Chains A and B, each alone.
Chain A
């Protein structure tokens, strides 16, 4: 069993509008048999945090194209994307690029 982990989530660039305008969320992911990865985190966010129009945030297993993801301040493309295994106290940022220039 993997112990529960506490992580910090941040939504910006307009993505926060799908979360009642709240940018920062401190959350605890419950204990489960496998370690948490980003793919499971997206399912958890969809079920527990998303307030409206889920199709504007998730598409299939991943985030909607045009939403950037940073894991501990690094582009998730350098961190394994969906397969990245979350650690306690990780900082995950989602930034929409789809809102007005």
Chain B
């Protein structure tokens, strides 16, 4: 008893949409999925004609679908954008080297130029080397902070006007939840924004065209279009706290698919009451990147690695930033506190 498509009423439906509950055939689904992203782009005015847009490409499902759909829409609606792929090589043997192979195939398949920037050339450290020094407890902190800045630096080298990333609706809902669970009011306030303006030197405006696209639809779009993407777990242990949030969200979504959109709407409509202290954004006095402290997170982490004090950027050591900047020696006690690492 095949179910007919509720849109064209001609072909067999292939999926039930989590957002609307409609059952659609393959071609009606492709069209609806692409049109919704087009609507998101138009109504939020994400791009301007003539811009160069860097797509943060990891080889995973989200960025692969993003690259494909942006290419389709740029042609269908004549956005007049110059699209290119931008990838970060974290230097993780057996994980990133494999996914970069996927990105290289995508470059051929979509006929888009590709640039790869590596942690090694930017920071002098691969993730493999970092994990050797810091162990498996805080490695995700290093990787996340470095990746964010690496994308910006790569984009600057290429004179990119905007970076777009593959964050989907499930990711955004998860981030809202994480920021609630961490009590991070500043991030909770920002994280649902579909785009960021260039609020400081060294940061390129970013946007998330897939912000309202459900993970289920992204995966099925990739499956039915037979897009080439890479999926595996990072070889280094993932953040357990985030893992719980993700599982919780998927459990909610299984009962009520609108939970994802509802959490995003909650995040979008939160306002921070007066009197809540928010960090003031300035620039890093060493590298010029946006930072609410004298030194940006990435410079502090790097300083810690280079001095053999890996804990420097983990937790709150703002007090020490002035000392580092003026190259004063740390006391023995301070050194001891920053050295010990739990493996």
| Chain A residues close to B by CB (< 8 Å) | 12-14, 17, 64-66, 68, 70, 73-75, 77-78, 93, 95-101
Flag if A13 contacts B231 (CB, 8 Å): yes
Q: Contacting A97 at CB < 8 Å: which of B12, B216, B234?
A: B216
Task: Compute how far the CA of A12 lies from the CA of B220 in the bound complex, rounded to whole angstroms.
Answer: 11
Task: Compute how far the CA of A64 lies from the CA of B2 in the bound complex, rounded to whole angstroms.
Answer: 25
Task: Compute how far the CA of A73 lies from the CA of B122 in the bound complex, rounded to whole angstroms.
Answer: 45
Flag if B13 contacts A96 (CB, 8 Å): no
| B246, CB-defined interface residue at 8 Å | yes
Q: Count A-B contacts at CB 8 Å.
A: 75
> Smallest distance from the beta carbon of B74 to chain A beta carbons, Å?
21
Flag if A65 contacts B171 (CB, 8 Å): no
Flag if B231 contacts A75 (CB, 8 Å): no
Q: Contacting B14 at CB < 8 Å: which of A14, A64, A74, A98?
A: A74
Q: Contacting A75 at CB < 8 Å: which of B16, B215, B232?
A: B16
Flag if B233 contacts A95 (CB, 8 Å): no
Q: Contacting B250 at CB < 8 Å: which of A17, A66, A74, A99?
A: A66
**Per-position contact with A for B305-321: 1 when CB-CB < 8 Å, else 0?**
00000000000000000
A residues near B170, Cβ cutoff 8 Å: 97
Flag if B3 contacts A101 (CB, 8 Å): no
| Chain B residues close to A by CB (< 8 Å) | 2-3, 12-16, 23, 58, 60-63, 99, 166-168, 170-171, 215-216, 218-220, 223, 231-234, 246-247, 250-251, 253-254
Q: List 14 A-B contacts (CB under 8 A).
A: A12-B231, A13-B231, A66-B253, A73-B14, A74-B13, A74-B14, A77-B15, A78-B3, A78-B13, A95-B219, A100-B60, A101-B60, A101-B167, A101-B171
> Smallest distance from the beta carbon of B259 to chain A beta carbons, Å?
11
> Smallest distance from the beta carbon of A96 to chain B beta carbons, Å?
7
> Smallest distance from the beta carbon of B229 to chain A beta carbons, Å?
8
Please name the residue on chain A nearest to B12 by beta carbon: A74
A residues near B23, Cβ cutoff 8 Å: 78
> Smallest distance from the beta carbon of B128 to chain A beta carbons, Å?
18
Flag if A74 contacts B15 (CB, 8 Å): yes
- Assuming the contacts A98-B246, A98-B250, A101-B171, asked whether A68 and B232 have C-beta atoms less than 8 A apart, the reply is no
Flag if A99 contacts B216 (CB, 8 Å): no
> Smallest distance from the beta carbon of A85 to chain B beta carbons, Å?
11
Flag if B250 contacts A12 (CB, 8 Å): no
Flag if B2 contacts A99 (CB, 8 Å): no
Task: Compute how far the CA of A14 lies from the CA of B222 in the bound complex, rounded to whole angstroms.
Answer: 14
Q: Contacting A68 at CB < 8 Å: which of B3, B63, B99, B219?
A: B219
Flag if A99 contacts B232 (CB, 8 Å): yes
Flag if B220 contacts A100 (CB, 8 Å): no
Task: Compute how far the CA of A73 lies from the CA of B223 in the bound complex, rounded to whole angstroms.
Answer: 10
Task: Compute how far the CA of A64 lies from the CA of B247 in the bound complex, rounded to whole angstroms.
Answer: 9
Task: Compute how far the CA of A74 lies from the CA of B1 in the bound complex, rounded to whole angstroms.
Answer: 12
Q: Contacting B220 at CB < 8 Å: which of A64, A75, A96, A98?
A: A75
